[in-house]
Amino acid sequence: MTTSTPTRPEDLDPMTPAVGTRRKLPRYGGVGLYVAGLVVAGLLTLLSGFSWGLFAVYGVVLGCLVTYVGSRVVEGSRKATDRLVTSLVTSAFAIAMVPLVSLIYTVVSKGITRLDGTFFSNSMVGVVGEGGGAYHAIMGTLIITALASLISVPVGLLAAIYLVEYGRGKLKKALTFFVDVMTGIPSIVAGLFAYALFAIFFGPGVRFGLGGAVALSVLMIPVVVRSAEEVLKLVPNELREASYALGVPKWRTITKVVLPTAIAGLGTGVTLSIARVIGETAPLLVIVGITAATNFDPFDGRMATLPVYAYYQLTQPGVPPQFGIDRAWTAALVLIIIVMALNVVARLISRFFAPKTGR
């Protein structure tokens, strides 16, 4: 009777040392190898005429290659493969972050010039060159976005409740299909729809804030529906069944059990949908227009909004043009700050209003 000898790792791969004698790179050895590859990539790029794009390509290829070869010699093929995949994933993340970091740096460095009290307290009435602010545009953005939220949130939440709790058959499939289609429509189409709708009643050339709110709601409703639908699906069916077992009707189960359980996710989804539409320019350019004065009435006359304000300050900056360009960059910075604040609010809602679970 013959006995088989267990296969050892070093018999399979001569580059893999025995378990008892396996070596490891130092704690930051993998990082050091990758940096060495970046140094080589920098030297090659200098020899062929330096460019950031070429350096990124050479850096990723040589960094991953040096990391893999160095780890394979010291640690073996399995650990080397792990380090190679880690290097590729990290490189992809770093490359994806470059445009975001560059965007934030550019907007902050150029927008900080006019980020002062005058910008937040003055309008553009009588201003051609230096001075002026975006008070009228900030207030217009807040008013129109608030109206859009008043239209979109109830409709979106009720539609999501229907799809999850009541919807069945072909009608549910049709509604889901149309929500998916509306999610992908271009924003200019929403603006043209609102303009065509109100032109029927008020004639061509109509411009007012309510039209902008309707246009934004067309973009916002499908986002609210989709996010709320996914959140409501996460509510355990056991909670519904326990409520039904006690004789509670369905509508009361939804209002007293389902919605309170999902309130954190619903609040997060609504907040993110507001952040999604607050920076839209094309629909507001079509139906709201622009004005240099402050208008608090969304039912009468043109209103200024931050995206359209930034667009006009950049395309029609006045004389000399630098003052208008500075105002455009500052308006973009304020928009980014508002969107970041909304994202922080969404995180806080998700954290503090989530259902408490016992340990």
pLDDT in tens, 323-354: 889 999 999 999 999 988 888 888 888 777 76
pLDDT digits (tens, 9 = 90+) for 191-204: 999 999 999 988 88
Q: In this predicted structure, what is the pLDDT of residue 12?
A: 52
| 26 has a pLDDT exceeding 50 | yes
Q: In this predicted structure, what is the pLDDT of residue 152?
A: 93
pLDDT-derived band at 1, boundaries 50, 70, 90: very low
pLDDT digits (tens, 9 = 90+) for 46-65: 887 778 888 888 888 888 89
Q: In this prediction, what percent of the chain has a pLDDT beyond 70? A: 92
Domains of the chain: 22-113 (no CATH), 119-353 (1.10.3720.10)
Q: In this predicted structure, what is the pLDDT of residue 30?
A: 83
Q: Mean pLDDT, to the nearest integer, of 306-310?
A: 92
| 312 has a pLDDT exceeding 80 | yes
Q: In this predicted structure, what is the pLDDT of residue 20?
A: 46
**Burial, 265: exposed, middle or buried (Cβ in 10 Å; 0-12, 13-18, 19+)?**
buried
pLDDT digits (tens, 9 = 90+) for 162-190: 999 888 888 888 988 988 888 888 889 99
